[in-house]
Amino acid sequence: EDISSQEKIIYYLARLKSKEILRDSGSGLALSRDWAKKICLALGQKNSFSRGFDKILSLLLASLRENSPVIRAKALRAVSSIVEADPEVLGDKRVQSAVEGRFCDSAISVREAALELVGRHIASHPDVGLKYIEKVAERIKDTGVSVRKRAIKIIRDLCASNPNADTSHAFVEIISRVNDEESSVQDLVCKTFYELWFDEPSGSHKHLVADGSSVPMEIATKTEQIVDMLRKMPNHQPLITIIKRSLTLEFLPQSSKAAGINSSMMTSLRKRCELICRRLLERILQVEEGADNETKIHTLPYVLVLQAFCIVDPTLCTPVTDPSQFVVTLQPYLKNKVDSKSTAQLLESIIFVIDAVIPLIRKPPQTVVEELEQDLKQMIVRHSFLTVVHACIKCLSALSNAAGRGPRLLEYLVNLFYKHLSGPNSDGQVLGRSLFCLGLLLRYGYKLLAASENQLDFPKILELLKRRYLRRDDFSLKVRAMQALGYILIAKPDFMLQKDILNLIEASLSSDVDYRLKV
């Protein structure tokens, strides 16, 4: 009598059993196909075949451990048929354990079949896929090329069907294969990241980020993805390779390249990269404004990603509307006085960006140039990390050249360090630093210094190195002097043809000499 009871299978079962229906079958049980299927399933659950499902599944899972790889592969196909009918079976702990066990099978065909089984249902059941992602990611380093490629495709499909899932660990594994020995794997890795970060999504919304940014929300999200991934990477070299190959669309098949690459596609790609760089600059400002000295490390990943883009193409950091924007924004960070490894890395990366961008700016603001000169000079003389000092000298040379400042400051520093080296100073640390800086100043500033009216006396400097430092007993100073000589020879290779320099190099490479001097 109850109308709501008609929603329950038991109602139909009760009517089927009643004598009234049997007596008068013409009057009435009009079942839809859907309900007929439900009733059949409900009745079928009681028959012996259905009750044996667990037993059959257990036998199939046990067959996955057979000695013959042919039987293991067939058992996987049988399990695959069950999963085809009900993908939720993949979530069963027994099934997951058995299938993941086959990811490490001795036969490539079985490993690939196991990944195929999971990969086929990733898009429709991403929640199930997430349970397998860690083990799938391990297969990215598999010895079988087909297995590596299948693992990469599974993670790519999972990310596409579930964009909010945390797949950064798996993507770190993928990017580690960017220099895979197999070129087809390299191309697949680049294609995966191109689609993830650089491809314009269809019907992408142009909603801007709410923090006053001029960058669309979709680009801001991609930027955070890149930075999150970099945090988990040992260095940014693989990222540089991805950006480089994406900007040239190098990974595309030959047929696509032969047909010609659409110019609007290249313009869109470039525009996206410029927006990512702009967002990185915004985030550097936001993170710094809300941080004290202890948390300045958080800025580093954003600066490292910006540096990666700048290494590939510095023009991405010279917007047409304001070419000096990046230099003006980053310059104040050079005043950071915290003496730590992470701060040194931060300074080094910022100096690299400024160094790459400065020559591209036609008229850099004079006040910024003057401040930059002072900041770089201070760090060259005082900073305790020599990697930072190296970056500063290279940047100062580029700045003196590009901003039309001439060699004045370079000459001042060359004379300063020469004075330390030729005087009575016996402090090993000061002398070592002076040798290092003098060599680099002559390497990067040679053209400017050579063209100056105050002609630089190169032979006098070489003579000082040979006479006073390359013959010393203090081994660390001897190494620094050889390094300084090397920097000078890079700037002026014809000095290498001088007989005494040739003899010096030959003696330093003889078998009994310490490897540090040889290097």
- Min mean pLDDT across 24-33, 203-212, 299-308, 411-420 is at 24-33
pLDDT tens digits for 437-494? Answer: 999 999 999 999 888 887 788 888 888 998 888 888 889 999 999 999 999 999 999 9
Contact partners, residue 70, CB within 8 Å, separation at least 6: none
Q: Minimal CA–CA distance to 477: which of 423, 433, 422?
A: 433
Query: What is the pLDDT of the chain when averaged over all its residues?
Result: 87
Across 242-251, average pLDDT: 90
Left if phi > 0, otherwise alpha if psi is -120 to 50, otherwise beta: which for 182?
beta
Looking at residue 259, its pLDDT comes to 64
Average the pLDDT over each of 262-266, 331-335, 379-383 and give the range with the smallest value: 262-266
Cα–Cα dist 114/103, whole Å: 6
CA distance 511 to 416: 37
Q: Has residue 9 got a pLDDT over 80?
A: no
Identify the bridge partners of residue 216 per DSSP, sorted by sequence position: 208
pLDDT score of 94: 92
Q: Which amino acid is at 130?
A: L
Is residue 226 pLDDT above 80, yes or no?
yes
- Is there a contact between 108 and 117 (Cβ–Cβ < 8 Å)? no
What are 450-462's pLDDT values in tens digits? 888 877 888 888 8
Distance between CA 339 and CA 399 in Å, rounded?
25
Distance from the Cα of residue 161 to its chain's centroid: 22
> Count of CB atoms within 10 A of residue 3's CB?
6
Is 353 a residue whose pLDDT tops 70? yes
With helix as H, strand as E and coil as C, how does 26-95 read?
HHCCCCCHHHHHHHHHHHHCCCHHHHCHHHHHHHHHHHCCCCCHHHHHHHHHHHHHHHHHCHHHHHCHHH
The Cα angle at residue 93 between residues 92 and 96, in degrees rounded to 5: 85
- Return the pLDDT at 349: 96
Instruction: Provide the pLDDT confidence category of residue 295 given band limits of 50, 70 and 90.
Output: very low
Q: Tell me what the mean pLDDT of segment 260-273 comes to.
A: 85
Q: Are 488 and 462 in contact (CB under 8 A)?
A: yes
Q: Can you give the pLDDT at residue 111?
A: 93
What pLDDT does 294 receive?
47
Question: What is the pLDDT at residue 26?
Answer: 54
Given pLDDT bands bounded at 50, 70 and 90, which one contains residue 2? low
Per-residue pLDDT, averaged over 119-147, amounts to: 87
R_g (Cα) of the chain, nearest Å:
34
Every domain of the chain with CATH number 1.25.10.10 lies at 51-144
Rounded Cα distance, 462 and 495, in Å: 9
- Give 157's pLDDT tier (boundaries 50, 70, 90): confident
DSSP of 86-132: -GGGGGSHHHHHHHHHHTT-SSHHHHHHHHHHHHTTTTT-HHHHHHH
Instruction: Specify the pLDDT at position 103.
Output: 93
Whole-number percent of the chain with pLDDT over 70: 91
Q: Is the pTM here over 0.75, yes or no? A: yes
pLDDT exceeds 70 at position 293: no
Q: What is the CATH T-level fold of the domain 51-144, as seen in this structure? A: Leucine-rich Repeat Variant (1.25.10)
Residue 454 backbone class (left: φ over 0; alpha: ψ -120 to 50; beta: rest): beta
The tokens for 199 are 């491809």
- Higher model confidence: residue 58 or residue 206? 58
| Burial readout 401-426 (b: 16 or more C-beta within 10 A, e: otherwise) | bbbebebebbbebbebbbebbeeeee
Burial of 105 (C-beta count, 10 Å sphere; 0-12/13-18/19+): buried
Higher-scoring residue by pLDDT: 511, 259: 511
